[in-house]
């Protein structure tokens, strides 16, 4: 069967690269084709009819025409605009972090409707006013890792398979999960994880946004969770996530502003 020349799909725009004078290449995460790239002609001109529908962090219906190397985007219509993600400094930064992770962890043309669902749910959850943004990010990270095959083992010691006791265990990025106090210290790069942190990670892993939104997490615990997930993600990607630096910059600035007040 020959593939049709034109096709339509639902996508979230996750990356934009400038090309030539006014064109762009977009990276999109789609419902039925995974990550794909598309060429958008004249997207950067003010009169572009598609520009507003193809901004980063937008959920759009996209029409594409097959090309020799790259498919060309011929039309687009916003499904969800996620306006809060585009008009708040922090929410934009969180949103950019989420789409950077999706871009880094996925290969082109590997479909995963579950990951697409997770991406949309995460963007929706970030837009809700009363949700804890840090928890949202941790939940997203854990479930993203699950979808791409790096789900951390949190139930039993990765090395000796013994059930984990409610004591301080060890998290090891190398082993891809938690180690018991006997095995932990022997593994390179492993660091202690408190019982509470382990419980919260398990809770995130096994529940959905509706449930985790009800959980209140103290600052110290939140920081521990972030450090664990950052370390694991950095180990898996073998490089830093760029938008993390920006989140750190914003946090440092907020601390400074609070101190001078």
Partner 1 sequence: MNQRSVPAADAINRLIEELNKLPGIGPKSAQRLAFYLLRAPREQASLLADTILTVKQKITLCSTCCNVTDTDPCPICRSDQRDQRMICVVEQPQDILAIEHTGSYRGLYHVLHGAISPTEGIGADDVRIKELTGRLQDGAVYEVILATNTNLEGEQTALYLNQLLSPLGIKVTRLAHGLPFGTELEYADDNTLTRAFEGRHEL
CB of 81 to partner 1, least distance (A): 4
Phi, psi of 153 (to 5 degrees): -80, 115
Closest CA to 144 of 204, 190, 184: 204
Give whichever of 81 and 221 is closer to partner 1, judged by the CB atom.
Answer: 81
Give whichever of 20 and 149 is closer to partner 1, judged by the CB atom.
Answer: 20
> Helix, strand, coil proportions of the chain in percent (round to 5)?
45, 25, 35
Task: Report the Cα 4 to chain-centroid distance in Å.
Answer: 32
* Alpha carbons 223 and 118: distance in angstroms, whole number: 23
Contact 62, 46 (CB under 8 A): no
Give whichever of 59 and 143 is closer to partner 1, judged by the CB atom.
Answer: 59
CB of 189 to partner 1, least distance (A): 24
For the residues of 79-105, what is the DSSP string, one character each? EE--THHHH-HHHHHHHHHHHHHHHHH
Give whichever of 93 and 106 is closer to partner 1, judged by the CB atom.
Answer: 93
CB of 249 to partner 1, least distance (A): 6
CB of 92 to partner 1, least distance (A): 5
Residues 6+ apart with CB under 8 A from 99: 12, 13, 14, 15, 29, 56, 57, 119
Give whichever of 168 and 253 is closer to partner 1, judged by the CB atom.
Answer: 253
- Please give the structure tokens belonging to residue 232: 């694991």
Which residues here bind partner 1, judged by CB under 8 A? 15, 20-21, 46-47, 49, 51-53, 55-57, 78, 81, 83, 86-89, 92-93, 96-97, 99-100, 103, 242-243, 245-247, 249-250, 253, 257
CB of 72 to partner 1, least distance (A): 18
CB of 242 to partner 1, least distance (A): 4
Task: Report the Cα 175 to chain-centroid distance in Å.
Answer: 22
CB of 42 to partner 1, least distance (A): 13
Give whichever of 188 and 257 is closer to partner 1, judged by the CB atom.
Answer: 257
- Please give the structure tokens belonging to residue 243: 């938008």
Give whichever of 27 and 190 is closer to partner 1, judged by the CB atom.
Answer: 27
Task: Report the Cα 182 to chain-centroid distance in Å.
Answer: 33
* Alpha carbons 84 and 254: distance in angstroms, whole number: 20
């Amino acid at each position: 069967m020959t593939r049709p020349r034109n096709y339509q799909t639902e996508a979230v725009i996750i990356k934009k690269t400038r090309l030539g004078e006014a064109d762009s290449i977009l990276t999109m995460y789609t419902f039925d084709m995974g990550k794909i790239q598309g060429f958008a002609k004249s997207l950067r001109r003010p009169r572009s009819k598609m520009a507003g529908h193809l901004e980063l962090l937008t959920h759009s219906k996209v029409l594409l025409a097959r090309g020799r190397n790259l498919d060309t985007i011929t039309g687009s219509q916003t499904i969800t605009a996620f306006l809060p993600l585009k008009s708040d400094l922090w929410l934009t930064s969180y949103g950019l972090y989420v789409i950077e992770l999706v871009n880094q962890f996925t290969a082109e043309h590997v479909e995963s409707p579950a990951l697409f669902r997770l991406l949309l749910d995460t963007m929706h959850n970030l837009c809700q006013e009363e949700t804890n943004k840090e928890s949202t990010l941790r939940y997203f990270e854990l479930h993203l890792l699950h979808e791409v095959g790096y789900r951390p083992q949190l139930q039993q010691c990765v090395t000796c398979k013994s059930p984990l006791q409610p004591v301080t265990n060890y998290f090891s990025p190398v082993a891809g999960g938690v180690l018991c106090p006997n095995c932990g210290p022997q593994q390179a790069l492993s660091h202690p994880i408190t019982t509470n942190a382990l419980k919260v990670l398990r809770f995130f892993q096994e529940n959905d946004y509706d449930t985790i939104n009800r959980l209140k997490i103290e600052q110290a615990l939140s920081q521990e969770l972030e450090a664990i997930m950052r370390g694991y993600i950095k180990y898996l990607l073998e490089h830093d996530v760029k938008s993390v630096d920006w989140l750190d910059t914003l946090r440092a600035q907020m601390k400074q502003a609070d101190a001078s007040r």
